[in-house]
Each structure stands twice: as structure tokens, then as C-alpha cells.
A and B are shown apart, each in its own frame.
Chain A
Amino acid sequence: MIEGILLPELDDDSRPFWDGCAAGELRVQACGECGRLRFPPRPMCPWCQSFAHNWNAVSGRGRVWSFVVPHAPLLPAYQEFAPYNVIVVELDEDPTIRMVGNLVASEYQPINSVDPYSIEIGQPVRVVFQRLGEGEEAVALPRWVRA
């Protein structure tokens, strides 16, 4: 099923996030000086300009901020699941930290496993991780189930 699914290209800024996912942990970058969370990850804190940072494990709980239901035409690897959902989740720790993901019925189910018409903004969700790819190439994507 992963043939043609797009996977992230890990870079200096993003690698710790994806490493966290592989370890089954949702990690968010936090400033080493002022402590504020930021996402997507970047080298400098926009509030105090510090390069120092930590990767904090967060609870992996949040709420649906918005969602869409894509239909054809799509890349073939996605079109076979269409219509599926894509959600944006705001984290419990800081609702201005938002992540794009998918609501799935369970960590083993595909991105069309939830009836899209049952999704509502504000619904509580929690993170799960789905491992895609093989060996060195493997990446774990965070997805979300109803909390």
C-alpha cells in the first residue's frame, strides 16, 4: 500500500520530530531559553532569537481544528483511498501548535477508515503512529484516532 505514498525528506530541522515518531513519541521543539513551543521546527526561536532548543515529548492529545475530504484527481497512491480525510489537529499543550494528519479508525487502518461525515471540528483525538517503508527508509507518520 505504500507504493507512491509521499514520505518526508528528513532534514536538520525536521529529523528529531520524525525520529520521535519512529520511537512512538510525539515531540515538539521548545525554545531552550524562553521555553515556548514552536512548529514546524526551525533553527531560531521567533520570540527570543535563541538557537538553543529541546525536543519535548507532548501528550499526543488534541482536537480537530479543521478537516477536508479530497476527491479525484489525486496522485494514484492517494486516489485509491479517496474520498479520505485530512485533518489539522491543535494540541492540548498549546492550541496554536497545529499539525496536519489523518483521522483513522485505528493505528492499523487506512486514511479512509473513518466516515468523513462523522468528523467534527473540536472532536478530541490522540496520536498513533503508522510505520511506512522498509529498513533504513522506514518512516513513522503520526495519525490520529478519536480519544
Chain B
Amino acid sequence: MSTTFVSRRSFLKVSALAGGGFMLGFHAIGKAMDNTLAEDVFVPNAFIKIDATGIVTLMAPNPEVGQGVKTALPMLVAEELNVNWNTVVVEQAPLNTKLYERQVAGGSGSIRSSWESFRKAGAAARQLLTEAAAKTWNVNVADCYSENSFIIHKPSGKKLGYGELASKAATLTPPVEVTLKDPKEYTIIGQRIRNVDTKSIVTGKALYGIDTKREGMLYAMVARPVFGKKLKSVDDSGARAVQGVKNVVRWENRIAVLATSTWAAKKGRDALKLEWEDDTKPESTRDHQEAFKKLIQQKHDAPKRNDGDAEKAITGATKVLESTFEAPFLPHASMEPMNFFADVRDGKAILFGPTQTPARTRTEVAKVLKIAEENVEVGMSRQGGGFGRRLQADYSVEAAMISSLAQAPVNVIWTREDDMEGGFYRPTGMYRYRAAINEKNELDAWYLIAAAGNQPNATRENSFPAGAVPNFRVDSHNLESNISIGPWRAPNHNFIAFTEETFIDEIATALKKDPVAFRLELLDRAKNNKFGTVAYDIEKYRGVIKLAAEMGNWGEQGKNGIYKGFGAHFSFGAYVAQVADVSVSGGKVRVHKVYCAVDCGRVINPSGAENQIEGGIIDGIGHALFGELTFEKGVAQQKNFNSYRLIRMPDAPLEIETRFIQSDASPQGLGEPCLPPVIPAVTNAIFAATGQRVKRLPVSLMTFL
């Protein structure tokens, strides 16, 4: 057991409310959730509600986009509370920045940031319940312990259920200091716990943003400008003639058609006669490629990292290797397209829908409506995937404006085409690598010049193999563009890992070294004679590389037509190494199996964690093989799943084998880190199978003989 203080923000502030209006503080949530909060409910903090019948409700404050936090975060509370998991009810909490920290789904950070505070919330409640029981029995608190939703008096064996103790516990002062369990005593953390929402999902009862229906609500579809265009003229007579269309409103360069059904709104929107004109210059993919080609030949005045003298080493090298890699734009293409409900009337805004950042939504809606943030209420629905797209607030702000202009509650629905054309994409980029080999047949210099659209920070210059190479330089050029970009699952890393790990493979091949042995040799160099600072832990990196190689029978090539490729990467606090088993026959690439070694600290829920890993790997494979969004004069050329190919079951591996490095370290992110390394693992395997190097994604652009 370890004693620890409850953090000011997550608990003290909440319990400070307790003196004068603790119940009130929670009442706001109760009201938003169900309007009924009985008098005898024990609400020790914003994470827990225990009623007299013993029902324990745990709040899940973070947005659930499919990453499993609605299951994993309450597990942390339940562990310390010593409740029977099967009796727990989990509820999604609405946005409340006074009660919760960081209600965000992004940066693989939900578990990372909540590990301490959620366990403390559970421990604090457990302590209050224990105290309540001791008071009831008039015994020493030290003689009481908790188990399975009961407080037990050790000497006499008397026990009382949490429900029976709830009202008494509610009258006690919350502790300032709590004692956390020894991890050896964990009975919930580390167990395979199934998704708490599966039953409602498989019966069609789980409600997503797109399912929101409210009294008097209209459905809206919006005509939006493509990149670089603005509205010149509008004729909405055709739209207004569609049966069911109730209103047409304009906000800046957007025209929204509001109707009594989604279909009428869509027919109305499609019947608008709109003329567009150039605003800024509409761009095409070709323009970006031409600009990148020039930029990657240029040195940047302010390198991101510059150890030794890479240029000089390259000039004097025995051998120089050079490779240029290209990344296309990628849309997020979450299964549930963008949508948001808004009801803006009388200076108040009620927003509800799928968002990864409810706080940002509130701030931006308040700003555009010119009302105070207190007058904006944001509720979070379950979300049909996010992948970063729902970190943006464009679609919620738009819904608020449309509702405000129409003075009606409205659910703005995006079609798949709207969603693909109006995105915040994974940026396109071009990376040029050069390496110098010296006379001792060693990697002596590494020089990356990156160029990416709207992304001045396209590199991770302290990543492996930084530290292992004496002359190491990284430059990053930004190409300004009017095409909006944004975080996309494992931002930057999703392309960096492919380029770094492919180039390392190329260098190993040129040095006639085994790619895994070469990576380990570089780690040795970084350990024994490190150049500059590095962002990774050398031993953890080595640990996953060795484990993946062992799991994936590294060294065996071509058996039964299966070729192996290796990839490793560190991102979002987690170390991941993978071996991909790939065959290429008849020009067709098939990934049969992926072996994945992960060091992400303590694993909260292995079933949920493995699901994230499998999802990340399949996502990575799919986008590496097929993902490409191109632009022609500001217009996305792939508008739906018939031209934008997503991975389907026959292209997914039959098996993914995951092993975690056992660790007591604080848990790290998992939603993102397993995606980046699988791309080079697959493309390096393709090289092993065909001798052809993949340098431009997607792989489907290549012809294999």
C-alpha cells in the first residue's frame, strides 16, 4: 500500500464543493444524465455514485471513439473501490471542466493522464465507506477492510454492503490523503474485461451522434466550398420546392438546407444551383509534388537537429545512399460521418454529438455565437470512430450557426462525400534521406530533408537512430497550402516510421547486415557512445526488437512463399516492434500474420488493449496498401468507398499475435503506437519477397512482377 495525496484538481476542488454544495456540484451531472438524483445517493466525487440499493455507477468522462476508455477508465476506479465489476454501471459523463481534467480523446493520452487520479477517486470512496461502517459498528477503522462491494469487520466477521453504507458515507468529510493498493492485490486491473457497451451495440441500441433526435428537430445538409473557392451566386428555388424542405440558410460560403427528414434535406441540398469562384488558388496534388521536389533539394536555415557535420560526411563518404519517400493525403473516413446536433435559441446553445474535444467545441461555439461559455452545454454521444477528425470543431460550430440562423433545433448530417471532401487530412509530404557509409563500413551520416503541406513539424528528430550516428541532421520544410490538415491516428509518426525504418533496412542491405542485427548494433552504438540527446529509452527499444524477432522467427525467409519484414517505432510513450509475414503472388500482396511486441507499461485491460493493437495494425496495413486521396483544383478526387479503398476482411491478416513486455511502469498510450511500425514491416517484407522497394504510398500504385 502506498499513501498518496489526492491531486488538487481532480479531487480537492470537487470535495471543496462538498462542504457547501457537493451534492449540488454533482447534481449538475445527475441532471444532465437522468434528472433524478435521490437524496440518499452517495457521491464521493465526480467519478462515483452509489445508491441505497447498492448500485454503483462509475462515470466515464472521456469521449469514447472506440478506443475502449469507457471500459478501461472505470476499471481504475473500480479496482480501488473494491467493487464487484459485474454489478457496476458505466455512464458517459458530459463535459464538465470543473469536475474532470482532460476530457479529450487524442494523443493516446486518456489512460496516461488518468492513471493516478481515477485510482485515487476510487480509493477515497473506499476509505469513506470503511469509515462509515466503522462508525456504524463503533469499531476501529483499522479493523475493517473492503471486498466485493462490502465492508467487513475482521474480528467479528460482520459485514455491510456499500448500498447500506451510502447515506452515512455521504455525511462524512472526504479524505485528503488516500492509500492506494499494492498492484499485487489487483483483481480488476490486468484482467480481460469485455467492452461495457457490447450488449447495446449488438442489439442496435447504442446511440451515436447521427442517431440524435429531439422534439421539433430538423435535419440539415450543407453545401460547402471546395478548397480555394467561394460562393458567387445562389439559387435555392429548386431546394425549397422539395417536399419536406423547411428552410434554407446561408452562413459565409455555406448553404444549409433544413428539412423534416435526412433524405429531403439531401434532395434539397442537391437541388441547389450554386456558382463558385476562385477565392485563393485551388490546388492540385501535382502542384504539391512539384513544390516538394524543389524543397527537398534545399537546406533549411534552421535544422531541427544537427549533430556533427552530415553534409561534409556525405561529401567525403566511401558510399552514399539516397532515397525519397512520398506520402499522400489521407482522410479519416470514420465509419460514422461527421454530424452534430445544435439547438441555439435565446442566447443559449445546447450541443450534442460526437467530439473528441468537447471543451474545444464549447469554446469555439461560444466564440462564433458571441455568447458566454457558461451558456453553451456540450454533451458527448458515442462516436463511430474518430482517428483525429473529431478533434476539430468545424462541424459542431457549423451546426451551432445553422441552428442559430434557422432558430430551430437541427442535426447537421454529412454524407460520406461531404466527409471525404471537407476533411482535415493527414498531410501529404516528401522526405529525402541520405546516408554516408565510411571506409570502416559504418553508418557515418544521416541527413533527412522533409517537406510537408501545412506541417512545419513533420519530423521527430530525436527518434531512433538519432544518437547512434555521429553526423545526424534533420531539416523540415513547410509548404503552405489552403487544404486543411489535422492530426490523423499517430500524427507524423504514421509516415515517419515508414521512411526511417525502410531507409534503415536499405542501409542494412547495403552493408550486407541482417536488418534486426543492424538495429541492435545501432542501439549498442547509441548506448556506448551517444551523440546528442534522444527521445527513446535504449533498453526498452532493444527489448521489443528482440522479442518481436523471436516471436516472428526472424531469419526464416521464403518458407512456403512467406517473406518477413521488420519494423520498430517509439511513439506516445510506447515501444513497438513487429514482424510481418507477407506473400506476393500474381502481383497481389497479402499480409498473413503480424507478430507484435509492445512495451506500454502496465496493461489495464488486455482484451481492450489487444483490440486496439489489432485495429492499429489493420488500419496501418490498409492505408499502406490502398490509402490515397488526391486533389484536382481543390476537389478531392476520391469521394466514397468505391474510389477510396479501405481495407476489407479478405485483405486483413488472419492472425495478429501480441505480447506485452511485463511492466510495472505507468500505463502508456495504445490507440496509436501500433500503427506506424506495421507499414515498414509490410513494405520491408515486400522487398524481401520481390526485391522492389516501396517508396511511395500506397503500395497499390506499384506493379509487382
Check if A and B associate.
no
A-binding residues in B (CB < 8 A): none
